[in-house]
Structure 1
């Protein structure tokens, strides 16, 4: 017998529990899908279409809904001879500027048409934009440009100004670019430049967190396909839904919890998945979610986290928000990145608090000092540094903070 064997006692087909699985129908998002359909209808009517922005936390169905709607739109548009429609999709996860997004779009368009990719360096931004307009012109018709996790570009929002105006400015002729922006950041639009806000003229669709009943509705058909009959105890799916609803309202989290519970049951040679397996899976995933939560922060979020890690390395925590902001600005300067307002930094800190990454203390020193907040990490410094080290842009800073922490620790030992 080998170490690895194919086992079938729990999973019948694990694909419905995979992150990449695309369901045949979208549950519990009827209102959002109707709004989405109205926003896309002008494409079928062959008339100008507004840009569309989707907002919501991770796991609330924005991306899967977009894939679902565009797939239907593509099939339905093929029924009309006078509609020339195509899509191009770019994930902006590691793209922190309009320049990088434009290059990614050019390369995606060229790859779809069998052309050669362009280098990520060596061009001026205007030249990259000109190449992008040439590729869009060659494609023609209505082109839906999906920019997933668009909030990563921060203040570098030229792409959101240039694309909607490309036709009126004469940069493209027989093409109508339509932007579909997907963002985890509800405040993303507030931080766009005034000229971009005026130009976008977008329709907004908000995707709120799911509640326990909605998550249960999403999980049940996947569970029916994923597991053999009789494997699931009746309380497993409701418990997975309840845990995820209490935490983030994320369908992705609920699905991963159910899959992890199944894997724990299978590794224990159990023919059934029980509530105990779900609770053990929840403990395991909570540890992983902290890392994932840090990894999914925007560049600005990472800069704020980096500033807090610096104070943590000196053991100068909890730290006041004004001091933390000063360090954050220095970090942005070192990264050659735009810094945001102190109020916006507090928004990022609030998000980190909800993710369980930091602890916030409210202080009140009376009339003299008034109320203010102090912050410190709620997770080991080493865990933060591991994530920053894995992010190329922050690698050097993470090494500096690590060195600072080591030196501070050594000097502390020498004093005692």
Structure 2
């Protein structure tokens, strides 16, 4: 008998819990789906597509709903004789409109005549893009996922206006912009807001009931019958709702609990497996987050951990700056100016290691942010031990505790 054998007790289709799995039906997003369908309706009528802007936290169904509805739309377009093409571009590594245009041209051309990342006049690149879109013709929907990574928004204005400006003759192009950043819309120029945000949909965080529905749907496909009891679904959903209303987080938790059940040769996934899975995922998240920090990021984190252990958080950035300078002196490293130090604090908040809360004390006190640790300090100290211990802070904190 070989080392590897098919799982016949727990998982029957584990991939159903993955982010890229597309269920046959979207659950927990009825209201948003109805609004989205209405926004896409002009396409099936053969009219110019509306430009749609979706925003909400990660893991709340924006991309899943988009994939699902565009698949349905393409199917219906065939039935009603509408010539429809959809293009999806992830903007995570694209910071300029120029880069986005190059990426779109290369996506449209396929492997032939691909452009280099740089070296062409902007006007020429735009003309190539219009030529490629017109050569496809018909109705074209371009999905810009993580659209907030584009720092200059000219392409978000040019594409929706291309037909009116005479740049496109054969193609009717619409944009779907997807963003996790609630404030991205405010950063757009007014002319881009009026075009990109023609139809605007906000996806709120899932509540526990919605997460239970999603998890049950996926579990029925991913696991064998009677392997995942109701209380396990409820616990995974409760954790997800409490943390961020993030379906992705709840699904990852359920998958990790299933993996632990397989490891332990169990007949069912239990609540104890969920607890073990949560601890394992949290440890992994923290280790990965800390490992990805720069030396200065570690020093800022050390300063925040020290203040937390002394009971001095939440606190303002200037108090953290004072402690950070002391840590830098111990490490024989030059400290950063306050603005750069705050950039590292904000990175910690983005990683979920710290939290950042805005305070408003009115005309006298003004507006400012308070920072605090948002992670199990023991796990953080373990992760910091795995980095180069430049200042011996972890040891000094443990001595203070004992």
2:157 is matched with which residue? 161
2:210 and 2:50 map into 1 onto residues whose CA distance is 30
Give CA-to-partner distance per residue, 1:244-296, whole Å, 9 cap, x none.
1111111111111111111001101111211100111111122344578899x
1:54 is matched with which residue? 54
2:312 is matched with which residue? none
Q: Kindly report which structure 2 residues correspond to 1:14-413, keeping only aligned pairs within 5 A, or say none.
A: 14-81=14-81, 83-111=82-110, 115-153=112-150, 155-290=151-286, 309=297, 312=300, 315=303, 320=317, 327=337, 349=346, 353=349, 356-360=352-356, 372-375=368-371, 380=380, 406=390
* Mean Cα deviation higher: 226-235 or 161-170: 226-235
Structure 1 residues 31 and 159: alpha-carbon distance in aligned structure 2, compared to 1, 3 A threshold: same
2:358 and 2:138 map into 1 onto residues whose CA distance is 55
Structure 1 residues 94 and 5: alpha-carbon distance in aligned structure 2, compared to 1, 3 A threshold: same
1:208 and 1:363 map into 2 onto residues whose CA distance is 23
- Cα shift at 1:13: 1.9
Q: 2:16 aligns to what SS in structure 1?
A: helix
Q: 1:90 aligns to what SS in structure 2?
A: strand
Q: 2:54 aligns to what SS in structure 1?
A: strand
Give CA-to-partner distance per residue, 1:364-385, whole Å, 9 cap, x none.
999997774454766659979x
Structure 1 residues 49 and 232: alpha-carbon distance in aligned structure 2, compared to 1, 3 A threshold: closer
> For structure 2, which runs of at least 5 residues remain unmatched after alignment?
308-314, 322-335, 397-402
* Mean Cα deviation higher: 262-271 or 192-201: 192-201
- Cα shift at 1:94: 1.6
Query: Normalising by structure 2, what TM-score?
Result: 0.79
1:382 and 1:260 map into 2 onto residues whose CA distance is 21
Computed over aligned residues only, the root mean square deviation of the Cα atoms, in angstroms, reads 3.9
Structure 1 residues 280 and 15: alpha-carbon distance in aligned structure 2, compared to 1, 3 A threshold: same
1:12 has 2:9 as partner: no
1:298 is matched with which residue? none
> For structure 1, which runs of at least 5 residues remain unmatched after alignment?
296-301, 332-341, 387-401
Give CA-to-partner distance per residue, 1:67-116, whole Å, 9 cap, x none.
111111111111233x22111111112212212211111111111xx633
1:308 and 1:375 map into 2 onto residues whose CA distance is 17
Q: 2:140 aligns to what SS in structure 1?
A: strand
- Is contact 1:240-1:258 (8 Å) kept? yes
- Cα shift at 1:27: 0.4
- Is contact 2:51-2:195 (8 Å) kept? no
2:179 and 2:363 map into 1 onto residues whose CA distance is 40
Q: 2:228 aligns to what SS in structure 1?
A: coil
- Cα shift at 1:165: 1.4
* Mean Cα deviation higher: 257-266 or 41-50: 41-50
- Is contact 2:52-2:201 (8 Å) kept? yes
- Is contact 1:321-1:374 (8 Å) kept? no
1:267 and 1:170 map into 2 onto residues whose CA distance is 62
2:79 and 2:290 map into 1 onto residues whose CA distance is 45
- Cα shift at 1:59: 0.9
Give CA-to-partner distance per residue, 1:296-332, whole Å, 9 cap, x none.
xxxxxx9xx87972761795987626998x958669x
1:31 and 1:367 map into 2 onto residues whose CA distance is 40
2:358 and 2:74 map into 1 onto residues whose CA distance is 52
- Is contact 1:308-1:377 (8 Å) kept? no
- Cα shift at 1:359: 4.5
1:71 and 1:320 map into 2 onto residues whose CA distance is 47
Aligned length: 367
1:366 and 1:141 map into 2 onto residues whose CA distance is 55
